[in-house]
Amino acid sequence: LELQNDLHRAVAAGDFELYYQPVVDLSTRRVVSVEALVRWFHPQRGNIRPEVFVPLAEEAGLIVGVGNWVLNEACMQMAEWRREGVALQRIAVNISALQFSEGGLLRHIINALESSGLPSHCLGLEITESLLMEDVSYTLGMLADLKAMDVNVSIDDFGTGYSSMSYLKQFPIDHLKIDRSFIANVLDSEQDKAITTAIIAMAKSFDLSVIAEGVESEQQALYLEELGCDSCQGYLYGKPMSAEDISRLLEDSA
């Protein structure tokens, strides 16, 4: 409860920061996009993980405020990188279930794009598969609007939730992100190999690009490349880092 009060103050004061994790294209081994990950630096308690404060923000009715801050900041930063000539195709932002179902999301996205001047195809949203299945007709409407706006959509943590193949086929989405729990032991576990292989094959047949999360070794990256995975994200290529560190990383590899 004390944390919830602090969260109110943090939203008002803007005590958040965005970190960014690089996503690497497996065919070129170049960074093509980043995922924005919010950080809350609490004045007394230090860094509080989003797993802890995102659910608190949802309970306190603050997630739309936090989420809009994240959307605006991510679009501003991406627009700045583009002005600096940093070669990134896209920035992806996590959208929580409450934020997705709240009626104002499209308007908030349009505002963030307009005030930053970022082209819509440079913005991606990450939503979980369980969120997509909550209200399928609402989801279909939202995804159609996002597609019409040319905003990218990824299904995050894919494989950990429940989604029906017949719906998945109908959803106009762009990428599947394989959850890192399957990637951790993909070289040793026959089950994780089978699941990862199946997800990649299914994504291909639906014409979706596949991003593997939690890639920590070159052997994992090579194996995923063999399976036809398009891109990878994980400690092998970089932990979530500040905007300055992303600029430095991309300068070094230019």
* Nearest distance, CB of residue 25 and Mn ion, angstroms: 18
Contact range with Mn ion by CB under 5 A, out of 40-48, 64-72, 125-133, 186-194: 125-133
Question: Using CB under 5 A, which of 6, 73, 129, 156 touches Mn ion?
Answer: 156
Whose tokens are 């939203």? That residue is 11
- Least distance CB 213 / Na ion (angstroms): 5
How many whole angstroms separate alpha carbon 31 and alpha carbon 212?
14
Helix (H, G, I), strand (E, B) or coil at 141: helix
Q: Which does 22 bind (CB under 5 to 8 A by kind): Na ion, Mn ion, ligand G, none?
A: none
Taking the least distance from each CB to ligand G, the nearer of 54 and 113 is 54
User: 76: how many CB neighbours lie within 10 A of its CB?
Assistant: 17
How far from 31 is each of 131, 234, 251, CA to CA, in Å? 28, 12, 11
Query: Please, which residue, 6 or 35, has the CB nearer to Mn ion?
Result: 35
Nearer to ligand G, 170 or 216 (CB): 216
CB of 97 to ligand G, least distance (A): 8
Nearest CA-CA partner of 236 in 155, 180, 169: 180
What is the closest distance, in whole angstroms, from the C-beta atom of residue 202 to Na ion in the complex?
Answer: 18
- DSSP labels, 198-242: HHHHHHHHTT-EEEE----SHHHHHHHHHTT--EEESTTT--SB-
51 binds, among Na ion, ligand G, Mn ion, none (CB under 5 to 8 A by kind): ligand G
- Exactly one of 6, 73, 126, 179 binds Mn ion (CB under 5 A); that residue is 126
Smallest distance, Mn ion to C-beta of residue 143, A: 17
- Is the torsion defined by CA of 89, 196, 169, 55 positive or negative? negative
Under a CB-based contact definition with an 8 Å cutoff, are residues 160 and 127 in contact? Answer: no
Q: How many whole angstroms separate alpha carbon 142 and alpha carbon 195? A: 29
- CB nearer Mn ion, residue 81 or residue 158: 158
Q: Which residues of the shown chain bind Na ion in the complex (CB under 5 A)?
A: 156-157, 213
Closest CB to ligand G among residues 84, 135:
135
Interface ranges with Mn ion (CB under 5 A):
94, 126, 156
